[in-house]
């Protein structure tokens, strides 16, 4: 009887454990389902993220392509603009081709600059009187406006009708060395700025006893052109 009771107790204990195992198995099964569901959600989310990133990459590529097109167009327009500026500068230079600028002339009231300049060509530049008399000067005037109380005389711009006459006068500029007078060609501000950048190289070349001269915006040293940077 005691044996049966003991056996029954063990059977009840086993059944209790089996019930617990069943419960545990149910929980494990449920947990496994939850894990699978979680993995599915993660996979779906990852796929959605990947698809979204691919879509974003496509949009970025399109934007980069469009941006490259606009950049190319901007560079093209900038080049066209630079070309137009160079053309305008050249045309301005051409309009000044027959001009020479003179300095060192005191300003007088009611001055007759045409007579002053012709006398200067004969007396200081040693151009024959007959040649000076035959020269046709289209216009001669002071450059710019009077600046306040300054006593510094304004430069004089002389426009010759013929380039050949201008050259006769210009080639005599060496005679003005060590005097209060000077003369030089007239150029637009853009060309003046380019030539100014090359002045140190011009002075260095002259110091080294090389032949150096300007043509428009190009410096020539012993015949080799040096462009402004």
Sorted by where each begins, the domain ranges of the chain are 1-96, 97-186, 187-229
Mean per-residue pLDDT, 34-38: 71
Mean per-residue pLDDT over the chain, rounded? 83
Question: Which range, 19-28, 113-122, 136-145, is most confident?
Answer: 113-122
Quick check: 137 pLDDT over 80?
yes
pTM of full prediction above 0.85: no
For the chain, list the strands marked E by DSSP: 99-103, 137-142, 156-160, 182-185, 212-215, 218-221, 224-227
C-alpha–C-alpha distance, residues 225 and 209, integer Å: 17
In percent, the amount of the chain with pLDDT more than 90 equals: 34
CA-based R_g, the chain, Å: 47
CATH 3.40.50.2300 matches 97-186: no
> pLDDT at position 24, please?
65
């Amino acid at each position: 009887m005691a044996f049966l009771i003991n056996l029954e107790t063990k059977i009840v204990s086993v059944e209790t454990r089996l019930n617990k195992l069943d419960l545990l198995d149910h929980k494990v099964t449920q947990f496994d389902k939850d894990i699978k569901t979680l993995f599915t959600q993660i996979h779906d989310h990852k796929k959605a993220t990947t698809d979204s990133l691919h879509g974003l990459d496509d949009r970025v590529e399109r934007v980069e392509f469009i941006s490259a097109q606009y950049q190319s167009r901007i560079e093209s327009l900038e080049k066209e603009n630079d070309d137009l500026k160079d053309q305008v500068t050249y045309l301005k230079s051409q309009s000044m081709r027959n001009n020479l600028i003179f300095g060192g002339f005191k300003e007088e009231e009611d001055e007759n600059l045409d007579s002053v300049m012709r006398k200067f060509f004969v007396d200081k530049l040693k151009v024959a009187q007959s040649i000076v008399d035959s020269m046709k000067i289209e216009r001669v005037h002071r450059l710019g406006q009077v600046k306040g109380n300054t006593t510094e005389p304004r430069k004089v711009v002389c426009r010759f009708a013929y380039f050949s006459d201008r050259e006769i006068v210009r080639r005599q500029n060496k005679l003005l060395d060590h005097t209060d007078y000077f003369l030089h060609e007239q150029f637009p501000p853009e060309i003046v700025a380019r030539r100014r950048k090359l002045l140190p190289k011009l002075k260095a070349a002259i110091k080294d006893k090389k032949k150096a001269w300007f043509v428009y915006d190009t410096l020539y040293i012993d015949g080799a052109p040096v462009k402004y940077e």
